[in-house]
Structure 1
Amino acid sequence: MPRQQQSARPARRRSYDQFCPAARALDSVGDRWTLLIVRELLAGPRRYTDLHADLPGVSTDVLASRLRDMEQGGLAVRRRLPPPAAAAVYELTERGRGLLPVLAALAEWGAPALGEHRPTDAVRAHWFALPLLRVLGGLAHGGLLDVRLPEGEFHIRTGAEAEGGAVYGYGPADRPDACLVLGAEAALDLARGACALAEAVADGRAEVLGEGPLADGLRGGRPLEPDVSGSCTSDAFQPTRR
């Protein structure tokens, strides 16, 4: 007698079953990897393959499962880019983007725990965006800021530039208003509050390239020195390593 085919069981909804806003939030984002996927998508839409490449250690099954949960929970959507790209990307909904202050607070809280870079630690340049947002995102003069580290480059939108879209993005911006060049150690010191940005610029641990209100604000109001290149795309400067 042939075995009767079993009907597929509906997925069991994971919940703490507690009438508490913190518990409800963790019902949505408390699973391993979910908040790190949000971190990646806060920089803008990304393909599945790009997400997998920048989340070292996540399995394809887990990543697919988390993205599916995020879609069902209203945190992210999947859409197809128009030709010639014709690729599917994931992006955050407005509710998903609302997790930015949560991630920024976690990054600020976790920054003191970053000690020596362990050999097993993966690193991506844009992972420094969240801890630096507290320092750079609230600059008085808004604009598009490139941030260049030895590990790579990302950009941050400050002031009015940050309204209604991603506050940071992958790689260099098309037309940045200024460029900040620094090493990972200086970036972490800024994130921890161990030094001020103007102090890092003054002692050579950071360099500001460009002219205008944003660049001057990064230098603490000091005008551009005559012997410093005003180009935001020059590769001549390398951050001082100490």
Structure 2
Amino acid sequence: MLEKMGSSERLDAGSEGSGRSAMRERNYRQYCGLASALDAVGDRWTLLVVRELLLGPRRYVELQADLPGIGTNLLAARLKKLRELGLVQRAGLAPHSYHLTAEGERMRDSVLALSRFGMGLLTDPTADVVVRPHWGFLAVAAMADAKRLPELSEAYEFRVDDEVFHLEVRNGNALPARGPAATPAMVATTDAITFVQIGAGLIDPMGAVAAGRLTLTGDPAAAGRCSLVLGLAKPTQQS
């Protein structure tokens, strides 16, 4: 098999082994925008590092904790390359903290689009997989389309395990963020697996409520509007 691989692919085949080998780069040598993007961020773990920064700055130890399976040398190598590309930089005076640059933020829509695509591929989790609450919330960010209710102005709060997030819908924009909402119209409380499964369409929100896996408080009508913004309900289903 290796004999049939190009030289650039052979270099990448061992990239998981150490920080030194991880710095060897794949290059498709194709004059194509997609190939160029994959040359830059197509290595394993790179887009998951970007995912971890979509909700704001993260410390190195937080990145390592939320990327189970990545070695510290490989994480350092991925961050180094992202910094060299101008996509990530250190966050102010905080030690070993990183955030996306303005150029890195340009990847947001593409990464969320990939997340939407991947949500459709999910099945029920096996015992050996891990899940984090903010991964589920990023699915919410990927699903949200405030243009479904362009006149709407309200916020929804999501309490997932021990983390809190909110989605503010205003002026046709959906703005996801960590932390509680100032005045949430609806509060949803659940666990990370249920949160992801609702987003993946594996369980209906009302089915999760009936099963005791999801609790909704606040304005009952707001739950319907939230479902519509997230594409979990159709306009004809709303009263």
Q: What's the TM-score, normalizing by structure 1?
A: 0.68
Instruction: Provide the C-alpha distance between the structure 1 equivalents of 2:193 and 2:49, rounded to a whole number of angstroms.
Output: 25
| Residue correspondence of structure 1 range 1-242 to structure 2 within 5 A | 14-81=26-93, 86-136=94-144, 138=146, 140=149, 141-149=152-160, 151-160=161-170, 167-169=176-178, 172-173=179-180, 175=182, 177=184, 178-184=186-192, 186-193=194-201, 199=206, 203=210, 206-211=214-219, 216-220=221-225
For 1:99, give the aligned amino acid: M
The alpha carbon displacement at 1:22 in A equals 0.3
Residues 14, 92 of structure 1: CA spacing in aligned structure 2 closer, same or farther, 3 A cutoff? same
Equivalent pair of 2:145/2:173 in contact (CA under 8 Å): no
Equivalent pair of 2:122/2:200 in contact (CA under 8 Å): no
Instruction: Provide the C-alpha distance between the structure 1 equivalents of 2:108 and 2:157, rounded to a whole number of angstroms.
Output: 20
Instruction: Provide the C-alpha distance between the structure 1 equivalents of 2:164 and 2:187, rounded to a whole number of angstroms.
Output: 10
Kindly, what percent of the aligned residue pairs are identical?
A: 32
**3-state SS, counterpart of residue 44 of structure 1:** coil
Aligned length: 199
Equivalent pair of 1:42/1:92 in contact (CA under 8 Å): yes
Structure 2: runs of 5+ lacking an equivalent = 1-22, 227-239
Residues 115, 216 of structure 1: CA spacing in aligned structure 2 closer, same or farther, 3 A cutoff? same
Pairwise CA RMSD:
3.2
Equivalent pair of 1:112/1:192 in contact (CA under 8 Å): yes
For 1:107, give the aligned amino acid: S
Equivalent pair of 1:144/1:155 in contact (CA under 8 Å): no
Instruction: Provide the C-alpha distance between the structure 1 equivalents of 2:49 and 2:71, rounded to a whole number of angstroms.
Output: 13
Equivalent residue for 1:8? Answer: none
Residues 175, 220 of structure 1: CA spacing in aligned structure 2 closer, same or farther, 3 A cutoff? closer
For 2:139, give the aligned amino acid: P
Equivalent pair of 2:155/2:169 in contact (CA under 8 Å): no
Q: Flag the structure with higher helix content.
A: 2
Structure 1: runs of 5+ lacking an equivalent = 1-10, 222-242
Residues 53, 142 of structure 1: CA spacing in aligned structure 2 closer, same or farther, 3 A cutoff? farther
Q: What's the TM-score, normalizing by structure 2?
A: 0.68
